[in-house]
C-alpha cells in the first residue's frame, strides 16, 4: 500500500457528516472504512439529466424539473389521521405545477418560498390537474447536484439509511479523501485505460454513460489481469505435474460402448474419445464436460472409467449431494458388474476398501476425511466447474501411487467462450450439444392462484395415466414457512386433498439417509406417483418415468435453480410439463406480461424480477440462453462484486468483453517477462505472492 492509502483505512466516522448512527447502518453492510465506502459501488443508475420545462410535464412521466417554490404549506390529512401532508406550488419560466409530499412535515422548514430546487419524481393527474407526487428534492445552490439533474447512482442500502444520505456521504468522502486514492497497478499496465482514482469516482458519480463505461472497463481489466496472472501461475504448476497413462484400444472402447442399453449420441462419442485420448498421456487430464441438464453426461464419465479400471487403478466419483451420490451408485452398479462399486458418504462405519480396481462414489467427504487409496487414476466431479488448485492437491495426496490423477469435471452450466479462452492451456472442454434422441422440450407454464385448480386436474389425469410427478417446495417446516408452502404441509395436502388417489412420498434434507434412499428407490421403481421434495432434488436426480415438475413458490427460486428443477423431467420420449406456481397473481399469459427488458436508467419495467424469471422459463428451454438472461437481469451489481470480495466469480468474469481479455493477457505476459515493473506496485506483488503460496503449500 502506498503512504496516502493508509488514510483510506480510517473509519467512516472520519468523513464529515457521518455520525455513529450512520456508521452503524453502514457497518451492517460491512462498510467500516473509507475504502469500504468507496468500494460500495452502485448497483444501478438513473438518468435524471434531462430537465423538463414545467409546461411540458405530462401525466405518467417520471421527470426532473428546475423550479422555484411559489407556495408551501402543511396540513393534516383528512382521511388518514395523524398524517401530515405538505402541499405546494412550484414553477419555472414556462408555468407552475402542484406538488405534494406525505409524512414529510419538516419540508416546510427545509424549503423556503422563493428558493430554487430540483424535483425528481412521478407526475400524476387528479381532478385539479397535474401534480408531482413525493418527488425527491435538491437545492440548486450547490456546486454539484447529487440526487437530481445528473446520472444518479443507486446503492444497496440497509433499513434506516436513505439513498440521499449515502450519496451525500460518498461525495463528502471523495472531497476529503479523494486525493489519497492512488493507482495500485503499474502505470505501464494501466496504459490508456482510466486510472483507479478516476474510475472509482466515475463509478459513483459518472458525468455521462461513456465515462461510466470507461470506469467499468477499467475494473474489468483489473479483474481479467488478476485472473490471467493466476492462470499463468497455474499453467506452470500443471506443466510440471505427472500422471499415469491409461491406454485403451479402439476395439476395447467399442466393446464397452456396445453393451450400453442405448446408442451414444455423436457428441457423447466425441467426448468419450477426447477423454480416452487425454488419459492415455502421462500429463494429467484436466477436462470439463459441459452439457445441458439431461444431455447424458454420466454415461460419458462411466465410459472414461473403463481404461483406468482395466489397468487396476481406482476411479473416484464426487457428487454435490448425498442424494446424488446414492443415485450414481445405483447407476454405476448396473453399468459395472465385474469391479466393486462402493458408496462412501457420511462419517459412519464403512466397508473396507478393496485393493485394486474399484469405483468409489461419494460427496466432498471423499477428499476431506483421512482415507487414502492405493491408487487413484481418475477423479470425476459432477456438477461443478470450479475446482480449486487446493482441492486438486488434496486429491493427489489421496493417491497412494503418488502421481496426479486425471481429472474430469461435469456441469450443466456451460462455461462462456471468454472464460474458455482464458482457461485454454489448463482446461480442455468437451460439449454435449445434442439431447438423446426423442426428447421433447418440457412445456412450461406459470400458474397463478386462479389457475391452480385447472392445472391440478391436468396433473391428476397424467397420474391416472401412470406418469410420475415431482412437487418441489421451498421449505421444510410450517414454522419457517413465511407464508410459503412447506414440504410437510404440501405433503399433507397433496396426499389427502389434491391427489387422494395417488401414492405420495416426501424427501427433504433432514431425513435420515436410509429413509431418504428408501423413498427415492420407491419413486424410481414406480411404487410412488408423486414425490414431494425440497431443493435436495435440484441437481442431477434422474428418474426418467417422471413427466411433471410442479414447483410451489416458484417466485422464490433463481433462474438457474428453476432450470435445474425442470431438468428432472423430459428425460424420456414422453411429453413432459413444468408448472411454476406462484402465490401472487400473475399476468395470464406470456404475451400479457411486459416483455423482458434490461433494468434501464429510465423507468424500470413494471414487472417483478421473479415474474420475469418465470416468464423466461416459459419461453426458453436452452440452459445457456437462460444463463445469459440471468446474468443480464442481475445487472451490473454482480459485475462489481469482485472489488469487494477479491474472488473471481464466474458470473463477473463472464461479463468481461473479449478485447479487455486480450489486453489483460498481454499485460500478464508483461508481468511474467519483466517482473521489475512491479517495483512500485506492492499491492499487486503481494497478491501474486499470496497466490503462489496457495499453489505450492503442502
**Set of cell numbers at residue 663:** 489486453
Pick the closer one to ligand ADP by CB: 231 or 411.
411
**Set of cell numbers at residue 442:** 418440457
**Partner whose footprint covers residue 121, from ligand ADP, Mg ion, none (CB < 5 to 8 Å by kind):** none
Q: How far is the CB of 454 from ligand ADP (least distance, A)?
A: 31
Q: How far is the CB of 443 from ligand ADP (least distance, A)?
A: 19
Q: How far is the CB of 668 from ligand ADP (least distance, A)?
A: 34
Longest Cα–Cα distance in the chain:
92
Q: Where are the alpha helices (DSSP H) in 139-249?
A: 163-177, 187-190, 196-204, 209-239
State the DSSP code for 498.
Answer: I
Asked whether 664 and 224 are in contact (CB, 8 A), the reply is yes
Pick the closer one to ligand ADP by CB: 264 or 469.
264
Q: How far is the CB of 551 from ligand ADP (least distance, A)?
A: 18
**Partner whose footprint covers residue 558, from Mg ion, ligand ADP, none (CB < 5 to 8 Å by kind):** none
Pick the closer one to ligand ADP by CB: 303 or 671.
303
Pick the closer one to ligand ADP by CB: 36 or 292.
292
**Partner whose footprint covers residue 262, from ligand ADP, Mg ion, none (CB < 5 to 8 Å by kind):** ligand ADP
User: Which residues neighbour 386 within 8 Å (Cβ) at sequence distance 6 or greater?
Assistant: 650
**Nearest in space to 165 (alpha carbons), one of 181, 150, 153:** 153
Three-class DSSP category at 409: strand
Q: How far is the CB of 540 from ligand ADP (least distance, A)?
A: 6
Q: How far is the CB of 251 from ligand ADP (least distance, A)?
A: 21
Q: In whole angstroms, give the CA distance from residue 134 to residue 639.
A: 32
Q: In whole angstroms, give the CA distance from residue 208 to residue 210.
A: 5
Q: List residues binding Mg ion (CB under 5 A).
A: 540
Pick the closer one to Mg ion by CB: 88 or 540.
540
Asked whether 593 and 614 are in contact (CB, 8 A), the reply is no
Asked whether 99 and 147 are in contact (CB, 8 A), the reply is no
**Partner whose footprint covers residue 544, from ligand ADP, Mg ion, none (CB < 5 to 8 Å by kind):** ligand ADP
Pick the closer one to ligand ADP by CB: 132 or 302.
302
- Position of minimal CB gap to ligand ADP: 296
Pick the closer one to Mg ion by CB: 186 or 540.
540
**Partner whose footprint covers residue 436, from ligand ADP, Mg ion, none (CB < 5 to 8 Å by kind):** ligand ADP
**Partner whose footprint covers residue 299, from ligand ADP, Mg ion, none (CB < 5 to 8 Å by kind):** ligand ADP
User: Which residues neighbour 628 within 8 Å (Cβ) at sequence distance 6 or greater?
Assistant: none
Q: How far is the CB of 540 from Mg ion (least distance, A)?
A: 4
Pick the closer one to ligand ADP by CB: 290 or 399.
290
Q: How far is the CB of 669 from Mg ion (least distance, A)?
A: 38
**Partner whose footprint covers residue 102, from Mg ion, ligand ADP, none (CB < 5 to 8 Å by kind):** none
Q: In whole angstroms, give the CA distance from residue 632 to residue 597.
A: 9
Cα torsion through 546, 548, 549, 551, rounded to 10:
-140
Pick the closer one to Mg ion by CB: 505 or 540.
540
Pick the closer one to ligand ADP by CB: 41 or 293.
293
**Partner whose footprint covers residue 12, from Mg ion, ligand ADP, none (CB < 5 to 8 Å by kind):** none
**Nearest in space to 528 (alpha carbons), one of 466, 610, 570:** 466
Q: How far is the CB of 297 from Mg ion (least distance, A)?
A: 5
For residue 176, count CB atoms less than 10 angstroms from its CB and return exposed for 0-12, middle for 13-18, buried for 19 or more: middle
Q: How far is the CB of 302 from ligand ADP (least distance, A)?
A: 9
Q: In whole angstroms, give the CA distance from residue 132 to residue 148.
A: 15
Q: In whole angstroms, give the CA distance from residue 235 to residue 249.
A: 30
Q: In whole angstroms, give the CA distance from residue 173 to residue 403.
A: 54
Asked whether 464 and 543 are in contact (CB, 8 A), the reply is no
**Partner whose footprint covers residue 293, from Mg ion, ligand ADP, none (CB < 5 to 8 Å by kind):** ligand ADP
Helix (H) or strand (E) holding 397: helix 389-398
Angle between helices 682-696 and 209-239 (to 10 degrees): 40
Q: List residues binding ligand ADP (CB under 6 A).
A: 262, 264-265, 268, 291, 293-299, 412, 436, 540, 542, 544, 571
Q: How far is the CB of 532 from ligand ADP (least distance, A)?
A: 22
- Position of minimal CB gap to Mg ion: 540
Pick the closer one to ligand ADP by CB: 275 or 412.
412
User: Which residues neighbour 572 within 8 Å (Cβ) at sequence distance 6 or greater?
Assistant: 438, 439, 544, 545, 547
Q: How far is the CB of 414 from ligand ADP (least distance, A)?
A: 12
Pick the closer one to Mg ion by CB: 168 or 411.
411
Sign of the Cα torsion 646, 651, 654, 656 reads: negative
Give strand ranges (E) for 498-634: 504-507, 530-533, 546-551, 577-581
Amino acid at each position: 500500500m502506498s503512504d496516502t492509502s493508509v488514510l483510506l483505512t480510517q473509519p467512516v466516522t472520519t468523513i464529515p457528516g457521518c455520525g455513529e448512527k450512520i456508521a452503524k447502518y453502514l457497518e451492517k453492510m460491512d462498510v467500516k472504512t473509507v475504502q469500504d465506502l468507496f468500494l460500495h459501488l452502485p448497483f444501478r443508475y438513473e438518468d435524471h439529466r434531462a430537465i423538463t420545462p414545467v409546461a411540458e410535464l405530462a401525466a405518467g412521466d417520471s421527470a426532473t424539473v428546475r423550479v422555484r417554490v411559489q407556495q408551501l404549506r402543511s396540513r393534516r390529512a383528512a382521511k388518514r389521521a395523524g398524517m401530515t401532508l405538505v402541499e405546494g406550488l412550484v414553477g419555472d419560466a414556462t408555468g407552475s405545477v402542484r406538488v405534494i409530499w406525505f409524512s414529510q412535515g419538516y419540508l416546510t422548514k427545509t424549503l423556503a418560498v422563493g428558493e430554487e430546487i430540483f424535483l425528481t419524481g412521478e407526475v400524476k393527474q387528479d381532478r385539479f390537474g397535474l401534480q408531482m407526487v413525493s418527488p425527491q428534492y435538491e437545492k440548486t445552490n450547490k456546486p454539484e447536484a447529487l440526487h437530481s439533474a445528473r446520472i444518479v447512482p443507486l446503492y444497496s442500502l440497509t433499513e434506516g439509511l436513505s439513498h440521499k444520505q449515502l450519496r451525500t456521504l460518498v461525495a463528502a468522502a471523495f472531497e476529503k479523501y479523494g486525493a489519497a486514492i492512488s493507482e495500485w497497478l503499474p502505470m505501464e499496465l494501466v496504459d490508456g485505460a482510466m486510472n483507479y482514482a478516476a474510475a472509482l469516482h466515475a463509478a459513483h458519480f459518472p458525468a455521462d454513460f461513456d465515462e461510466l463505461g470507461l470506469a467499468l472497463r477499467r475494473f474489468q481489466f483489473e479483474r481479467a489481469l488478476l485472473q490471467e496472472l493466476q492462470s499463468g501461475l497455474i499453467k506452470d504448476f500443471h506443466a510440471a505435474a505427472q500422471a499415469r497413462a491409461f491406454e485403451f484400444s479402439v476395439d476395447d472402447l467399442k466393446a464397452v460402448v456396445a453393451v450400453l442399453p442405448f446408442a451414444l449420441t455423436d457428441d457423447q462419442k466425441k467426448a468419450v474419445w477426447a477423454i480416452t485420448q487425454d488419459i492415455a498421456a502421462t500429463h494429467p487430464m484436466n477436462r470439463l464436460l459441459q452439457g445441458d441438464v439431461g444431455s447424458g453426461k454420466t454415461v460419458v464419465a462411466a465410459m472414461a472409467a473403463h481404461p483406468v479400471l482395466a489397468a487396476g487403478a481406482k476411479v473416484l466419483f464426487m457428487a454435490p449431494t448425498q442424494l446424488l451420490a446414492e443415485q450414481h451408485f445405483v447407476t454405476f452398479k448396473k453399468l459395472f458388474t465385474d469391479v466393486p462399486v462402493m458408496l462412501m458418504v457420511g462419517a459412519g462405519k464403512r466397508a473396507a476398501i478393496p485393493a485394486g480396481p474399484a469405483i468409489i462414489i461419494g460427496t466432498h467427504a471423499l477428499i476431506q476425511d483421512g482415507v487414502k487409496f492405493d491408487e487413484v487414476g481418475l477423479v470425476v466431479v459432477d456438477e461443478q466447474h470450479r475446482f480449486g488448485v487446493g482441492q486438486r492437491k488434496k486429491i493427489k495426496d489421496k493417491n497412494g501411487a503418488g502421481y496426479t490423477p486425471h481429472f474430469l469435471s461435469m456441469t450443466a452450466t456451460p462455461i462462456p467462450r471468454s472464460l474458455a479462452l482464458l482457461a485454454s492451456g489448463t482446461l480442455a472442454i468437451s460439449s454435449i450439444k445434442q439431447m438423446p434422441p426423442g426428447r421433447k422440450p418440457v412445456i412450461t407454464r406459470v400458474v397463478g392462484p386462479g389457475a391452480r385448480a385447472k392445472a391440478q386436474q391436468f396433473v391428476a389425469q397424467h397420474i391416472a395415466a401412470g406418469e410420475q410427478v415431482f412437487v418441489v417446495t421451498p421449505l421444510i417446516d410450517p414454522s419457517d414457512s413465511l407464508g410459503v408452502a412447506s414440504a410437510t404441509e404440501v405433503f399433507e395436502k397433496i396426499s389427502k386433498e389434491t391427489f387422494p388417489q395417488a401414492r405420495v412420498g416426501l424427501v427433504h434434507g433432514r431425513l435420515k439417509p436410509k429413509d431418504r434412499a428408501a423413498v427415492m428407490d420407491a419413486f424410481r421403481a414406480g411404487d410412488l406417483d408423486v414425490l414431494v421434495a425440497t431443493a435436495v432434488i435440484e441437481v442431477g436426480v434422474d428418474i426418467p418415468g417422471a413427466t411433471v415438475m410442479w414447483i410451489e413458490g416458484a417466485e422464490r427460486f433463481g433462474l438457474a435453480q428453476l432450470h435445474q428443477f425442470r431438468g428432472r423431467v423430459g428425460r424420456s420420449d414422453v411429453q413432459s410439463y413444468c408448472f411454476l406456481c406462484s402465490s401472487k397473481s400473475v399476468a395470464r399469459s406470456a404475451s400479457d406480461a411486459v416483455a423482458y427488458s434490461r433494468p434501464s436508467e429510465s423507468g424500470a419495467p413494471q414487472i417483478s424480477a421473479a415474474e420475469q424469471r418465470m416468464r423466461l422459463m416459459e419461453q426458453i428451454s436452452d440452459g445457456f440462453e437462460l444463463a445469459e438472461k440471468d446474468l443480464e437481469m442481475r445487472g451490473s451489481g454482480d459485475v462489481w462484486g469482485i472489488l469487494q470480495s477479491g474472488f473471481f466469480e464466474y458470473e463477473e468474469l463472464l461479463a468481461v468483453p473479449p478485447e479487455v481479455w486480450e489486453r489483460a493477457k498481454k499485460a500478464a505476459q508483461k508481468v511474467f517477462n519483466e517482473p521489475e515493473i512491479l517495483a512500485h506496485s506492492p499491492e499487486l506483488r503481494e497478491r501474486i505472492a499470496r497466490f503462489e503460496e496457495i499453489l505450492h503449500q503442502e
